[in-house]
Copies of this chain bind each other. A is one copy, B any other.
Amino acid sequence: MNDFLDIRLDRDSRTPLYLQIRNAIRDLITEQLLPTGFRLPPERRLAVSIGVNRSTVVKAYEELAAEGLIQSHVGRGTLVAGGNEVQGRDAWKTSLPMRWTHLFNRQAARVNDPLISDLLSQLTQADTINLAAGVPAAEFYPASGFARICSEMLACKPQELLEYSAPQGIIELRSYLARHMRERGASLGSDGILVTSGSQQGLELIARIMVEPGDTVIVEEPSYPGAMQVLRAAGARLVGVPLDNNGIRIDILEQLMHRYRPKLFYTMPAFQNPSGMSMSEGDCRAVLDLSYRYHVPVVEDDAYCEIYFGSQRRPSLFATDVCGAVLYLNTFSKMMFPGLRVGWAAGPPEVIRQMTLLRQLADINTGTLPQAVLAEYCRQGLLANHLAMIREQYRQRRDAALQALSDFAPPGMSWNEPEGGFYIWCHLPPGAGGEMLLRICRNAQVGFVPGEAFFADGNSGSDHIRISYSRCHPAAIRTGVERVCAAVRKLIKEQGNPRSGRQNAEGLAPLAML
């Protein structure tokens, strides 16, 4: 009976179950799949067959009766009422619009967070000092060098650059990347590299070949929201291992691995987003040791490794690993520019092969032209010069942000001093965080990202904000930090005056409006 009624319930939906049942039966009646006089199943039987309470079905039938679509008859049960017939036998012109959202699967319900689009849309708000976006400064993009190589190559071998290419990536770029990683101590060949459309795609492919819905994945707390979204979309249950002032809590990581037997541990050991912290060499070894003991693969996201302010690069987990237990992700988005969507994954060939099989279904290959131009750019040695320049520039921006914080921050506000990357993670005095701070800062035309965005539970973190110094000139950074600090001061002061606080609390924008 239920089969014929074809009622599919989405228990994750915000639409109440009784309305879902009403809608489904209404569709069947309106589309004449249930003719006039058709006897609906008794409430109790339908309730059992679709796994809801009888009262839920009763409510649904009441709604349908109120709409005149069905009628109860003593002794005959509940029948489809007349008057719903459409003239003629051709459904052509009389059909209702397709109800697509009823057809979405459970996966779709897990993908509902517009955070990335919303953050990207901030890039275009020119009148706001943008301490929110984790995007490199456009004025550093090596556009002229890139444009020159692009033009030369298009003139020289245009057809090759516009052709399909191997799903794993063009050999010129894979060879360069493998050599580059060997120079950092890793041992791999070009068969251990997959060129991806940004490191986002690399992580998504890993999640899709590894995570079974319900699997546990450990993430740092705080961690990169885009990664958490991808893992959750694959059905992972996220468990956070805290970072404190001394770095990752190895003791808690061990407890979590022992307790949950997780599928993966996702980490960003170099200049982490959002904390700006890096994993010590001892902690790197301890993490690998736990990975081996508990048989938990590590996904190392190394997007910021090239933006270091010290004398040399940090060793990567991937290069330190001796058991092939680490999958490595990186991207050209932070070290050069993001619009080309070129990144890479490195790992054991059997994993790279499986990721490649999935990626060719997903989009066949990363654009051939961007890959070829990047490979040539690197081959000519231009990347090294570019990196030397941006390291110095971003160091100056970090210094400007730190100086402004120490000049303007109120008592009770604290922060770390990152040795690389784009981010400063600020701890706020009690009561100074949350949506109120966002609102004041939006009025003051300065943007940041509130700490909640970086916690798997979506609730913690309101006592932190992330300040990105990558996107603005040092003078603007100083002004922006000054405005944020002024807002924090204002909130601390209002703590003693709760009335005004309550007044302002109305009409706040949701977090997703960031």
Seen from chain A, the residues whose Cβ lies within 8 Å of a Cβ on chain B are 6, 27, 31, 90-93, 95-98, 100-101, 103-108, 111-114, 116-117, 120-121, 123, 135, 138-139, 141, 143-144, 146-147, 150-151, 154-155, 158-168, 196-198, 200-201, 204, 208-212, 215, 226, 229-230, 233, 261, 263, 285, 288-289, 292-293, 295, 297, 322-325, 333, 336-341, 347-348, 350-351, 354, 356-358, 360-370
Contacts and interface: CB of A to CB of B under 8 A. Distances in A.
B233 A361 contact: yes
A168 B118 CA distance: 12
Contacts of A93: 322
A204 B362 contact: yes
Contact of A198 (B295, B337, B347, B364): B364
What are the nearest 3 A-B pairs in CB distance?
A: A143-B158, A339-B368, A147-B154
Specify how many copies of this chain sit in the oligomer. 2
A363 B292 contact: no
Contacts of A155: 147
A126 to B, nearest CB: 13
Contacts of A348: 97-98, 100
Given A107-B208, A365-B341, A325 B112 contact: no
A193 to B, nearest CB: 15
B163 A358 contact: no
A98 B367 contact: no
Contact of A364 (B91, B341, B370): B341
B163 A123 contact: yes
B163 A154 contact: no
B166 A121 contact: yes
B362 A120 contact: no
B354 A97 contact: no
B92 A288 contact: yes
A468 to B, nearest CB: 14
Most buried by B among A98, A212, A357: A98
A347 B98 CA distance: 11
Given A101-B350, A212-B106, A295-B27, A116 B360 contact: yes
Given A92-B285, A139-B159, A339-B164, A111 B151 contact: no
Contact of A367 (B289, B297, B367): B367
16 contacts: A91-B293, A92-B288, A98-B297, A104-B209, A105-B210, A111-B357, A111-B358, A120-B167, A143-B158, A146-B162, A163-B337, A204-B361, A339-B365, A340-B368, A367-B370, A370-B370
Nearest to A342: B367
Most buried by B among A100, A104, A166: A100
Given A98-B297, A106-B212, 17 more contacts: A90-B289, A97-B348, A98-B324, A98-B325, A103-B263, A105-B210, A105-B215, A107-B208, A108-B354, A111-B357, A113-B357, A116-B167, A141-B159, A150-B154, A163-B338, A164-B339, A233-B361
A292 B106 CA distance: 24
A200 to B, nearest CB: 5
B164 A351 contact: no
Contacts of A361: 111, 116, 200, 204, 226, 229-230, 233
A9 to B, nearest CB: 12
Contacts of A98: 295, 297, 323-325, 348
Contacts of A362: 200-201, 204, 362
B135 A158 contact: no
Contact of A369 (B162, B164, B233, B340): B340
Contacts of A160: 138
A144 B123 contact: no
A143 B325 CA distance: 44
Nearest to A202: B363
Contacts of A288: 92
Given A104-B210, A297-B103, A162 B354 contact: no
B158 A147 contact: yes
A181 B333 CA distance: 33
Given A159-B139, A233-B358, A325-B98, A364 B200 contact: yes
A120 B166 contact: yes
Contacts of A366: 341
A365 B226 CA distance: 13
A468 B333 CA distance: 39
A337 B492 CA distance: 59
B354 A104 contact: yes
A360 B12 CA distance: 22
A150 to B, nearest CB: 6
